Structure 1
Amino acid sequence: MSADGASLAVTRRPAEPAGAPRAERDRRARRRWALAFVLGWLAQVGVRVWLASGQTLPVATPDESGYLFAARVLTGGPDADMSYGTVYRAGYPLLLLPAAWAGDDPVTVYRGALVINALISAAMLPLAFLVLRRLRVAARPAYLFAHVTALLPGVLFYSLFVLTDAILPVLVVGWLLLAHAWLAAPRDPEGRGPSVRLALYGTGGSLLVGFAYASHSRGAILLVVHAVVLLAGALLRRRSWRATILAGAVAAAAALAGALLNRIVIIPNLYPAGDNDLGGNLAERLTTVDGWGWMLSLGTGQVWYQAVATGGVAAIGLAAAGYAVLRRDMPVPVRVLALAVLATVAGTALATSAALPVEYRVGNYVYGRYLACVTPVLFMAGVAVLLRAPRRRALPAAIASAAALTVLTACVVQWYAGDLLSEYTFTIYDFPETSFLTWDWDSFHLWHATLAGLAILAAATGAVLLPRHGPPVLAAVLTAVALAMTITAVDRIARPLVAEQTTETDLRGSVDLRTRDTIAVDWNVPWTMRLSHYYWAWWSEGTLFDSRWTPPPQDADMIVLAWPNGAPATDSWPGGAPSGWEIVDSRRTPEGNWVAWARD
């Protein structure tokens, strides 16, 4: 060999192993995706923290107050008498304990709770991506629409308040993913127990539904559906009885632990005189014809709200779930979970309607919060149909089904509620999406909202049918609508409520609340104000009395009494205040009037 040839032989690099460039590309792709999810999650957290920056006190009362006081009690803090109200369970308040431990005043605790909400709620991004991928949406559109799902008002707006609605959508989507993984995993080897991975899927899903049950009564529906899914896995021979019993035992143990925590800690400290017996409402409605009419009609109103609030996309998803159940060529796990989603929607809508008392408000008949935990699942199913359905037959049929469902549910609401939709009280907090659609924050308009929702559906259809860039345009349309709904809701609903409640109840500038170990509030003070007084007096035990029958308790350090119209503040104390008590603050407000008395 020539010298030149020898030189070439010496300097030639060893051949790279086959597949090495592809492996390196895969590693780089995984790093890029990991960075995209980290940055995306941080962006979702940032949006939530920014939108919640004006929140300083509970305005979604009594719910927010109930969870905050439950967290306070769990840290060993003072009680707050919320007797005869709905029991706010201990599961969600457990997540708020870091805020309750770290904060030394009510506003700091409240804002810390909202940061915790943001961290959890933003987890919808990776979870939604996984769901969309399992619905066979390509990776890039799946990431894009995962962001859209995380920005839905039902996910985003309620994360700005101390409500279980901030975490329930994440729990439901996480449970659905784990339930699918548990059902779809390869069959157990003959004669062997469940694999570690299979056990993790089953126990993980069971822990999520157990925690949901410990957090809210809607979790009971999810717990029942989960039990049926586990049973179906065994009966259809997808899973062994050993794996099924293991998952079921974990769910039962988690639910029992939550129930005991509520029974032993929450109820005695926050509801010493009992709660409002929603179970009695449920039993009465289930056993009467009128009760079933109420349940079916109000449940239909909840479905209508989700259809309109998502521009018909959730309605497409609901129709797709029904179609998946009926198709025999669908994989068994998909059919079982589609049926589970439908059962969760129906069970939640009917059970919450059955337990709901007659409150003479429009929100009795059309309401969005109860089904908001399932809406992301329906929305993602609808998106998958829009992106993947054949254009000639399947897509027009899906869109027509969604439009028909929206109109039909609106007709049921109109038939059952009728003039009550304009005569009953319009509570602005109940309608963040439909108020935007009708551009009216003072009254409810059923058919205007329906037409606006159908118009968004038409725009979404037009976007997805574009020959190029259809998915990005569709995502832009849906994102613009979702963000506009939430931003206007913050501006028109949340911020005004905060300003109003602060003006009507904040007495921190009048008295040093840290020195008051107990605060007694008159039952005749409007309940929203009673709870606000408990909130501002964060270090004080809150008790309740009725000044019509019971003298103000003089062992309290501060007493808040109802203030009759036309009377001087000094007359608010029945029979005159005893020596040593003085007025430290008083307010006349549209909600009601009150006078705060404290010891000299």
Structure 2
Amino acid sequence: MSLVIAAPSPEAPPVPALPTPRRTMAWLLALGCVAQVLIRLWFAQARTGPAANPDETGYLLAARWLAGGPGGDLSRNTFYQGGYSLLLAPASWVSDDPNTVYTLVMVINAVVGAAAFPLGVMLLRRLGVSGRAGAALAWAAALLPAATFFGGYALADAILPVVVLGWLLALDRFIRDGGPYAAAGSSLIACYADAVHSRGQVLLCVHVLALLALVVSRRRTDVVGLGTVVAGFLAVSALNGAMRSALYPEGTRDLTAILLARLTTFDGQLWALSGAAGQIWYLIVSTWGLAGVGLVATAVMAVRRSPMAAVLLVSTAGMAYASSAALPDEHRVGNFAYGRYLSCVALVYALIGIAALMRSTNRQRAVLAASGVGVLAVSGLWVTAYAGDRLSTYNYIGFDFPETSFLTGDRSELHLTQASLVAAGLLIAFAGLRWLGPLAVAAGVLALSLAATVFLNGSHPRRVMPVAPISGHGGVAVAHSVNWMDYTKILHPVAWTRISWINPTTERPAPGICTVVVNRPAGTSPEASWPGHPAGWRPLPATWPAASWTAWRDSACA
């Protein structure tokens, strides 16, 4: 995106660009992609089933249904859109075994995630950093935890960094060169982002506004781009409508009331803006400070009327603000500082920050680094002032803070000031490493990213195969009294049938039901969990002794 970063100063030392034949570059890209896939698979090898529930189960269940398998009832949960599940559906065609399906999902995540490398090369080339230097920097940046951590889970966040980067590159191509193919391509990617996650709705809105702005400035209608948006939006609406009917028969979790309350009250606005500031803070920290420089460089070019800079900033602000405004107060630290929602743009800003450091003079680098640290400090102080002691008294969930737990060496608590100081120091170090050339910067980014990933996953992840709690045949019914999280955890392993509901105190199992899952209060033995069970029904051996439920099996079922 040459529109984001201005031409380098005549005083700036040139970025080394060794002559690289096209064939050699093609081999570097191919080998780099293979290496990216292998590294991602290595760290995901221990993952054999959903852990981040209900999100993972929501996507996996939708993928199984889209592949023609049994669905399930996710009523009153957050609606998990179908775009990512469409990508996962082929895994259910290959195998019926839940563990195998999940392993294939990790492969899909790794292959799609690896595309961040060649797309990063394209972005750096448009920013003026090309050749082997650009390839090395892009390869290292593609392994930032923000671009890899969620690849170890069946979450839409695993592919969103690639989707967002692809959309920005396609839209930039269309803005600069025009043409129906670029218009259709960028619009299709924007519509797919809309199908993947609610953050994609923000991107689609920004995309439409960009197309309309081009219509006004160029005084001609972009029929292809706008037509593709309309067709894509209708297709996404049809897909999501079908999924709502099949998987959410009693409706989805409605966050509209929360969103409206936040938008129309002073306290609500303060919550939304503070949460957005916390996301900006985490965005900078999670990229070792580089996104701070990227934000500053992008803002400068937006002031200079760069269309793509404006698109990127509006998209970022829209996602941060809207996600924070709609987020209920769950009494968790992640309400105030959270990285997941902006992880999809972390790689983009990190690459822009790297390019800005590469193409600037010593004085400019000092200003950029100081400005990045300033944004980090301001956003961090805002979070601290608004959240106060809630940062220590609210529930801390380690999954919300992968990068900061690495920077502070503590998985049990958020140390905002310490994480800020470490990130600021790393940013200053990267500005100094520019003296040694782009390979030194790439090596620094790579070393930090791999160290963080090892810290989070271990250097030799062990693959642990979970034991299925229920046998793989016959109908399955779950008591209404079973905890919703326990019910959610059963949905993915029970891959052969759609789970039905039952009230075991007043109803007998319907014909074809071979397994009934009932609630087991603490201190109750499995045998006493269903006092009125029909004759011939026996509790299955407890897979997890501490489980709060028991599966009963009809001995008449083969």
Relative to the length of structure 1, the TM-score reads 0.85
Q: 1:558, 1:597 within 8 Å by CA — same for their partners in 2?
A: yes
Between the aligned partners of 1:541 and 1:486, the Cα distance in structure 2 is: 37
TM-fit CA distance, 1:544: 4.3
Q: 2:45, 2:461 within 8 Å by CA — same for their partners in 1?
A: no
Between the aligned partners of 1:472 and 1:252, the Cα distance in structure 2 is: 45
Aligned counterpart, 2:197: 216
TM-fit CA distance, 1:281: 2.0
Aligned counterpart, 1:567: 524
Matched, 1:388 2:359: yes
Aligned counterpart, 1:18: none
Between the aligned partners of 2:262 and 2:227, the Cα distance in structure 1 is: 31
Mark the CA change 1:44 to 1:95 in structure 2 (over 3 Å): closer, same or farther. Answer: same
Matched, 1:290 2:257: no
Aligned counterpart, 2:451: 484
Q: For the pair shown, which has the larger CA radius of gyration, 1 or 2?
A: 1
Between the aligned partners of 1:303 and 1:201, the Cα distance in structure 2 is: 30
Mark the CA change 1:307 to 1:185 in structure 2 (over 3 Å): closer, same or farther. Answer: same
Between the aligned partners of 2:49 and 2:211, the Cα distance in structure 1 is: 41
Q: 1:519, 1:534 within 8 Å by CA — same for their partners in 2?
A: no
Aligned counterpart, 1:143: 135
Q: 2:479, 2:518 within 8 Å by CA — same for their partners in 1?
A: yes
SS at match of 2:101: helix
Amino acid at match of 2:237: A
Gaps of at least 5 residues in structure 1 are 1-25, 187-197, 329-334
Between the aligned partners of 2:93 and 2:296, the Cα distance in structure 1 is: 46
Between the aligned partners of 1:386 and 1:312, the Cα distance in structure 2 is: 12
Amino acid at match of 2:143: L
Q: 2:67, 2:90 within 8 Å by CA — same for their partners in 1?
A: no
Measured against aligned partners, the alpha-carbon deviations of 1:186-245 in whole angstroms (never above 9, x if no partner) come to 6xxxxxxxxxxx1110000000010111111111000011011111212222xx633x23
Between the aligned partners of 2:264 and 2:164, the Cα distance in structure 1 is: 30
Aligned counterpart, 1:512: 471
TM-fit CA distance, 1:587: 5.9
SS at match of 2:69: coil
TM-fit CA distance, 1:38: 0.7
Aligned counterpart, 1:314: 291
Mark the CA change 1:521 to 1:361 in structure 2 (over 3 Å): closer, same or farther. Answer: farther
Residue 391 of structure 2 is aligned with which of 400, 405, 421? 421
Matched, 1:255 2:233: yes
Matched, 1:471 2:430: no
Between the aligned partners of 1:419 and 1:201, the Cα distance in structure 2 is: 50
Amino acid at match of 1:202: A
Q: 1:570, 1:576 within 8 Å by CA — same for their partners in 2?
A: no
How many positions carry a matched residue from both structures? Answer: 537
TM-fit CA distance, 1:319: 0.9
Between the aligned partners of 2:145 and 2:93, the Cα distance in structure 1 is: 30
SS at match of 1:118: helix
Q: 1:587, 1:594 within 8 Å by CA — same for their partners in 2?
A: no
Amino acid at match of 1:585: P
Counterpart mapping for 1:289-368 below 5 A = 289-327=266-304, 335-368=306-339
Q: 1:585, 1:597 within 8 Å by CA — same for their partners in 2?
A: no
Measured against aligned partners, the alpha-carbon deviations of 1:383-435 in whole angstroms (never above 9, x if no partner) come to 0111111212x221111111011111111111111111111111111111110
SS at match of 1:307: helix
SS at match of 1:373: helix
Residue 579 of structure 1 is aligned with which of 527, 535, 538? 535
Between the aligned partners of 1:420 and 1:412, the Cα distance in structure 2 is: 13
SS at match of 2:183: helix
Aligned counterpart, 1:165: 157
Between the aligned partners of 2:126 and 2:301, the Cα distance in structure 1 is: 14
Residue 492 of structure 2 is aligned with which of 528, 532, 535? 535
Amino acid at match of 1:520: A
Residue 348 of structure 2 is aligned with which of 363, 377, 392? 377
Amino acid at match of 1:262: N
Residue 241 of structure 1 is aligned with which of 220, 236, 241? 220
Q: 2:366, 2:431 within 8 Å by CA — same for their partners in 1?
A: no
Between the aligned partners of 1:486 and 1:551, the Cα distance in structure 2 is: 50
Between the aligned partners of 1:300 and 1:176, the Cα distance in structure 2 is: 23
Choose 79-88 or 555-564, whichever is displaced more: 555-564
Residue 62 of structure 1 is aligned with which of 28, 47, 54? 54
Aligned counterpart, 1:13: none
Between the aligned partners of 1:288 and 1:550, the Cα distance in structure 2 is: 47
Mark the CA change 1:588 to 1:424 in structure 2 (over 3 Å): closer, same or farther. Answer: farther
Between the aligned partners of 1:106 and 1:66, the Cα distance in structure 2 is: 14
Choose 301-310 or 155-164, whichever is displaced more: 155-164
Q: 1:584, 1:597 within 8 Å by CA — same for their partners in 2?
A: yes
Q: 1:587, 1:593 within 8 Å by CA — same for their partners in 2?
A: no
Q: 1:63, 1:163 within 8 Å by CA — same for their partners in 2?
A: yes
TM-fit CA distance, 1:552: 6.9
TM-fit CA distance, 1:554: 4.3
Amino acid at match of 2:538: E
Choose 552-561 or 358-367, whichever is displaced more: 552-561
Measured against aligned partners, the alpha-carbon deviations of 1:75-95 in whole angstroms (never above 9, x if no partner) come to 221121111101111111111
Matched, 1:593 2:548: yes
TM-fit CA distance, 1:568: 2.6
Between the aligned partners of 2:20 and 2:433, the Cα distance in structure 1 is: 33
Q: 2:20, 2:131 within 8 Å by CA — same for their partners in 1?
A: no
Aligned counterpart, 1:183: 175
Between the aligned partners of 2:294 and 2:496, the Cα distance in structure 1 is: 48
Between the aligned partners of 1:72 and 1:360, the Cα distance in structure 2 is: 33
Mark the CA change 1:552 to 1:444 in structure 2 (over 3 Å): closer, same or farther. Answer: farther
Mark the CA change 1:580 to 1:130 in structure 2 (over 3 Å): closer, same or farther. Answer: same
Aligned counterpart, 1:280: 257
Measured against aligned partners, the alpha-carbon deviations of 1:289-309 in whole angstroms (never above 9, x if no partner) come to 111111101111111001111
Mark the CA change 1:522 to 1:316 in structure 2 (over 3 Å): closer, same or farther. Answer: farther
Aligned counterpart, 1:19: none
Mark the CA change 1:342 to 1:560 in structure 2 (over 3 Å): closer, same or farther. Answer: same
TM-fit CA distance, 1:116: 1.1
Between the aligned partners of 1:92 and 1:159, the Cα distance in structure 2 is: 12
Between the aligned partners of 1:211 and 1:94, the Cα distance in structure 2 is: 10
Mark the CA change 1:235 to 1:326 in structure 2 (over 3 Å): closer, same or farther. Answer: same
Aligned counterpart, 2:28: 36
Between the aligned partners of 2:238 and 2:257, the Cα distance in structure 1 is: 21
Relative to the length of structure 2, the TM-score reads 0.92
Amino acid at match of 1:429: F
Mark the CA change 1:296 to 1:550 in structure 2 (over 3 Å): closer, same or farther. Answer: farther
Between the aligned partners of 1:32 and 1:567, the Cα distance in structure 2 is: 67
Q: 1:70, 1:90 within 8 Å by CA — same for their partners in 2?
A: yes
Q: 1:534, 1:540 within 8 Å by CA — same for their partners in 2?
A: no
Between the aligned partners of 1:456 and 1:47, the Cα distance in structure 2 is: 24
Between the aligned partners of 1:522 and 1:157, the Cα distance in structure 2 is: 35
SS at match of 1:578: coil
SS at match of 2:539: strand
Q: 2:274, 2:383 within 8 Å by CA — same for their partners in 1?
A: yes
Q: 1:507, 1:585 within 8 Å by CA — same for their partners in 2?
A: no
Q: Which structure has more RCO (C-alpha within 8 Å, separation ≥ 6)?
A: 2
Between the aligned partners of 1:262 and 1:550, the Cα distance in structure 2 is: 36
Between the aligned partners of 1:288 and 1:523, the Cα distance in structure 2 is: 37
Amino acid at match of 1:68: L
Gaps of at least 5 residues in structure 2 are 1-17
